[in-house]
A and B are shown apart, each in its own frame.
Chain A
Amino acid sequence: MANEINQTSSQNSGNIQPTMEVQNISKRFPGVVALDDVSLQFFPGEIHAIVGENGAGKSTLMKIMSGAYIPDSGKIYLDGGKVSFAHPREAQKKGISIIYQEFNLLPERTVAHNIFLGREPSKFGALDVRQMNKQAREVLMEIGVEKMVSPTALASGLSVAEQQLVEIAKAISFNAKVLIMDEPTAALSFTEVKLLHDLVSRLKQKGMSIIFISHRLVEVFDIAEKITVLKDGKFIKTVDKKDVTPADIVYLMVGRTLDHYFPPLGKPEDFGEVVLKINDASNECLKDINFELRKGEVLGVAGLQGSGRTELAQALFGVVPFKSGKMELHGKGIAIKSPAKAIKNKMGFVTEDRKSEGITPRQPIRDNMLLTVRSTQFLLSSILKDGIRKSRKLVPMLGKQVDIRTDSFDREAQFLSGGNQQKVVLAKWLASDADVFIFDEPTRGIDVESKASIHDMIRDLTRRGIAVLMISSELPEIIGMSDRILVMAEWQIAGELPAKSSEQAIMLFATGHSKNAQKNSELAGKE
């Protein structure tokens, strides 16, 4: 294997010395080998993408390179010299900066405090807040978002996308030689992604070595020059982008070709009666929501960041309930004022932010799966009667249904990869016998193969007569999965489109263009 690496790198890069190099890195965790003898080289002025499915070891490798983990064996070289990091601070000092996949901001602190945490500017031993705010503004300006994000704003007041921009600002403020980005675009909308891509190319021209982890292959092919594939903790191959196609990469990642990304759409005979009907519903955010959801269909909800997609899901599920309007479930009028009531009425909600809303990380997988079942039963009946016996049967069955990869269901959910955590959330709702499912970004930050299996599961649900409302910011996912598409803009539903509508048609509604067009035509009709 070592020979293979030397071959590829010598072919590609001639005699330039790599900025950073890892050799024969291995790392074990209880029950898994996360990295097995991985060697890689990263060169100055190069954007190097690392791809692989969940559990391939990408994030572990990045954490080792940034000093967050200490490898069991192997060496790290920086500019030709051997280094080892006992603390993230040491890696930072040597010029390695990283944007982590999970959000790493302190909600109760200002943007500037977050950016400079651990290396705040000081004067005569005292913190120089003014200087810190000034420098923070400069960094924000560098990535071109100084108008969106103020250095003195509290992180908790920022949207998910803005928080991600702050993370990026933090990472580049180190003036690092090596910049590692672990899924930096997962939370960003189109314009912000563009900003980031421009920034990355600028940093590259400065000679920075950029390591980019992404599940969006389109993006990888957009900006990376070199692509390394990892699988099951092992190095598979490093290739030049120009020599390969996305299909080749997928083949390397999963060891087989995925002939279609999406399961077939539902047929007209699959759709049953209207299960959920919303009439003129509004709350603090949303205005005049009207739609119907039928049995057996996937209703996709598209829209830009901040168009009210997530708020719609929260209103339906009673997190932030509707204040006015009518809601009908199975033909009966109902007001869902709390998630508990939603669950009682057999609704399931797979949230966008699984870390804070979907799973209880420190509980075993088993208990996570049984959370909804238990919440709808009396405390004693679930424990005494048949709770234990039932859970013994139910949990492995659910695990099999959603294909969770773990050696034991007693493992704490926090140790699972993102894709597997999402499957636990799914299992939780399957266990509750829900017949209306709301998915909010079901595959955000998840690798290609888990994505495909989650898509299959969603389609499976509809075949069992379950109605699915699926919110997604990824248009291919909306188009590939939806039997009908609702597009949201400015806190209302801007329009409805049939299955297989084009990205362009969706974007027209999402950006508000079609709405005006429609209004104009309506007005014209009245006259």
Chain B
Amino acid sequence: MTTVTASENGFRRILRSIHIPPVYFFLILVFLIGGTLDQILADGQIFKNPAIMLNIVVRSVALGIVAVGQSLVIIGASIDLSVAYTISITAVMSSYLMQGKTENVPLAILGVFGIGALIGVANGLTITKLHVNPFIATLGTSLIIKGIINATFSNYTGSVPESFQFFGYGTIGPIPVSIIILFLTVLAGWFILARTKFGSHLYGVGGNTEVARLSGVRTDRVLIGAHVMCSMTAVLAGLFLVSLMQSGAPWVGPNGIYDLNSIATTVIGGTALAGGKGGVWGTLAGVLIFGVLDTTFNQLGVNPYLKTVLQGAIIVLAVASYTIRSKKEVA
């Protein structure tokens, strides 16, 4: 464990440094159970049809992107409840700014990322400088954005040009662009956490703010940075959703429950809500578990209310199994 021998190639070394999180076994388990049930009770598409597997991932893209940002703030012992409405404001503002014209796209993208940065900075400052509990601070931000968009837009607003729909529907070779963007986002999240000073400091701030401060870490800046990144991922998810829908609607964020779902998938992925522990690879697995469940339930034609009940039960079970496991390790 202490030294990496020269015989190991780069890939194995990377694999080793990632430490495949245990949640992947859970993901495989869920997939196998879901597929088997599908085989027995429905038409068995999950195992038979590779397109459906791809579809599971595509449907997870928006949640996956936000969950990466959510993982960052949760590792920093914070939380962001404003991601859903950040997605909404991104969707309506970008489609409003684009007005169906390709030449407006760069400005619109710049504009919404600007708004995202503003939201992130506002969240970060409220939490670090005004010492407002992150839950309340971001809930407040969320309500403020909600009020603003509801006052301004009541329905689909503007539209995105066809060129921009490449983000949502395009493919490079056989792989959808959206999957590539999700993967790049996760990769970026991993790099930031594991391979930058910022990431290292973020684990410090989340693990014990006072320890980090006494070690010379500028804790406030780190947490503000994490919140800005989190809001940026919400903006990216919003752009993806608007390119799918072709026109922005104010309900896109809250309807997808991106706030609570991104928190749930992060925690299922093994990131501690208390902060200081976890990573984005686990979160990706958490997101995919949601995707597999969703697809399985759809295949089986489960009643949507029952679906929610089952989803809730599975979240609790998954997280409980970690705690029990980690307790056993201690004893």
| Pair A284/B331 contact, Cβ less than 8 Å | yes
| Pair B197/A150 contact, Cβ less than 8 Å | no
Given A117-B200, A118-B217, A284-B331, do A106 and B207 touch, yes or no (CB 8 Å)? yes
B204 CB contact (under 8 Å) in A66, A89, A106, A152: A106
Instruction: Report the separation of the CA atoms of residues A125 and B234 in the bound assembly, to the nearest whole angstrom.
Output: 25
Closest CB-CB distance, B13 to chain A, in whole Å? 10
Instruction: Report the separation of the CA atoms of residues A126 and B198 in the bound assembly, to the nearest whole angstrom.
Output: 10
Q: A59 an interface residue at 8 Å Cβ cutoff?
A: no
Closest to A150 in B: B2
| Pair B197/A105 contact, Cβ less than 8 Å | no
| Pair A109/B214 contact, Cβ less than 8 Å | no
| Pair B197/A106 contact, Cβ less than 8 Å | no
Across the interface, which residues of A come within 8 angstroms of B213, CB to CB?
A: 68, 87-88
Q: A219 an interface residue at 8 Å Cβ cutoff?
A: no
Across the interface, which residues of B come within 8 angstroms of A150, CB to CB?
A: 1-2
B203 CB contact (under 8 Å) in A68, A88, A113: A113
Given A109-B207, A118-B201, do A125 and B217 touch, yes or no (CB 8 Å)? no
B195 CB contact (under 8 Å) in A98, A118, A129: A129
B200 CB contact (under 8 Å) in A105, A107, A120: A120
Across the interface, which residues of A come within 8 angstroms of B217, CB to CB?
A: 89, 117-118
**Which residues of chain A in 82-104 are interfacial with respect to chain B, using CB atoms and an 8 Å cutoff?**
87-89, 92, 98, 100, 104
Closest CB-CB distance, B276 to chain A, in whole Å? 5
A117 CB contact (under 8 Å) in B196, B212, B272, B277: B212
B215 CB contact (under 8 Å) in A104, A107, A129, A133: A104
Choose among B211, B212, B276 the residue with the greatest number of A CB atoms under 10 Å from its CB: B211
A126 CB contact (under 8 Å) in B17, B196, B207: B196
Q: A108 an interface residue at 8 Å Cβ cutoff?
A: yes
Closest CB-CB distance, B111 to chain A, in whole Å? 28
Q: B39 an interface residue at 8 Å Cβ cutoff?
A: no
Q: A151 an interface residue at 8 Å Cβ cutoff?
A: yes
| Pair B215/A117 contact, Cβ less than 8 Å | yes
Instruction: Report the separation of the CA atoms of residues A98 and B201 in the bound assembly, to the nearest whole angstrom.
Output: 19
Given A127-B196, A150-B1, A284-B331, do A118 and B216 touch, yes or no (CB 8 Å)? yes
Q: B218 an interface residue at 8 Å Cβ cutoff?
A: yes
Across the interface, which residues of A come within 8 angstroms of B215, CB to CB?
A: 88, 104, 117-118, 170
B211 CB contact (under 8 Å) in A98, A105, A122: A105
Across the interface, which residues of B come within 8 angstroms of A151, CB to CB?
A: 2
Given A122-B197, A129-B195, do A152 and B203 touch, yes or no (CB 8 Å)? no
Across the interface, which residues of A come within 8 angstroms of B4, CB to CB?
A: 130
Closest CB-CB distance, A400 to chain B, in whole Å? 33
Instruction: Report the separation of the CA atoms of residues A235 and B197 in the bound assembly, to the nearest whole angstrom.
Output: 41
Closest CB-CB distance, A188 to chain B, in whole Å? 20
Across the interface, which residues of A come within 8 angstroms of B214, CB to CB?
A: 66, 68, 88, 98, 100, 104
**Which residues of chain A in 108-134 are interfacial with respect to chain B, using CB atoms and an 8 Å cutoff?**
108-109, 113, 117-120, 122, 125-127, 129-130, 133
Closest to B331 in A: A320
Closest CB-CB distance, B143 to chain A, in whole Å? 28
Q: B177 an interface residue at 8 Å Cβ cutoff?
A: no
Instruction: Report the separation of the CA atoms of residues A113 and B199 in the bound assembly, to the nearest whole angstrom.
Output: 11
Across the interface, which residues of B come within 8 angstroms of A109, CB to CB?
A: 200, 203-204, 207, 276
| Pair A87/B218 contact, Cβ less than 8 Å | yes
Choose among A88, A120, A127, A130 the residue with the greatest number of B CB atoms under 10 Å from its CB: A127
Across the interface, which residues of A come within 8 angstroms of B216, CB to CB?
A: 87-89, 92, 117-119
Closest to B276 in A: A108
Q: B208 an interface residue at 8 Å Cβ cutoff?
A: yes
Closest to A137 in B: B2
Closest to B210 in A: A104
Given A88-B215, A104-B214, A320-B331, do A120 and B207 touch, yes or no (CB 8 Å)? no
Across the interface, which residues of A come within 8 angstroms of B277, CB to CB?
A: 108
Closest CB-CB distance, A151 to chain B, in whole Å? 7
Across the interface, which residues of A come within 8 angstroms of B211, CB to CB?
A: 104-106, 117
Closest CB-CB distance, A166 to chain B, in whole Å? 12
| Pair A152/B207 contact, Cβ less than 8 Å | no
Closest CB-CB distance, B260 to chain A, in whole Å? 25
Q: B149 an interface residue at 8 Å Cβ cutoff?
A: no
| Pair B2/A106 contact, Cβ less than 8 Å | no
| Pair B200/A152 contact, Cβ less than 8 Å | no
**Which residues of chain A in 134-174 are interfacial with respect to chain B, using CB atoms and an 8 Å cutoff?**
150-152, 170
Given A88-B214, A117-B201, do A106 and B195 touch, yes or no (CB 8 Å)? no
* Proximity bits, B139-181, A CB within 8 Å = 1, else 0: 0000000000000000000000000000000000000000000
Closest to B4 in A: A130
* Proximity bits, B15-31, A CB within 8 Å = 1, else 0: 00100000000000000
Closest CB-CB distance, A355 to chain B, in whole Å? 12
Instruction: Report the separation of the CA atoms of residues A245 and B217 in the bound assembly, to the nearest whole angstrom.
Output: 42
Across the interface, which residues of B come within 8 angstroms of A118, CB to CB?
A: 201, 204, 212, 215-217
Across the interface, which residues of B come within 8 angstroms of A106, CB to CB?
A: 203-204, 207-208, 211-212, 276
Closest CB-CB distance, A160 to chain B, in whole Å? 15
Q: B300 an interface residue at 8 Å Cβ cutoff?
A: no
Across the interface, which residues of B come within 8 angstroms of A119, CB to CB?
A: 216
Closest to A105 in B: B211
Q: B315 an interface residue at 8 Å Cβ cutoff?
A: no
Instruction: Report the separation of the CA atoms of residues A133 and B215 in the bound assembly, to the nearest whole angstrom.
Output: 18
Q: B194 an interface residue at 8 Å Cβ cutoff?
A: yes
Closest to A125 in B: B196
Closest CB-CB distance, A349 to chain B, in whole Å? 18
Across the interface, which residues of A come within 8 angstroms of B194, CB to CB?
A: 127
**Which residues of chain B in 250-271 are interfacial with respect to chain A, using CB atoms and an 8 Å cutoff?**
none
Across the interface, which residues of A come within 8 angstroms of B1, CB to CB?
A: 150, 152
| Pair B2/A152 contact, Cβ less than 8 Å | yes
Choose among A106, A113, A125 the residue with the greatest number of B CB atoms under 10 Å from its CB: A106
Closest to B199 in A: A127
Closest to B203 in A: A109
The 9 nearest A-B residue pairs measured at CB:
A89-B216, A118-B216, A106-B207, A108-B277, A118-B215, A117-B215, A118-B217, A104-B211, A127-B195
Q: Can you report 23 A-B residue pairs in the complex whose CB atoms are below 8 A from each other? A: A66-B214, A87-B216, A87-B218, A88-B213, A88-B214, A88-B215, A89-B217, A104-B214, A104-B215, A106-B204, A106-B276, A108-B203, A108-B272, A108-B277, A109-B276, A117-B215, A118-B201, A118-B204, A118-B217, A122-B197, A127-B196, A127-B200, A150-B1
Q: State the A residues within 8 Å of B (CB).
A: 66, 68, 87-89, 92, 98, 100, 104-109, 113, 117-120, 122, 125-127, 129-130, 133, 150-152, 170, 284, 320
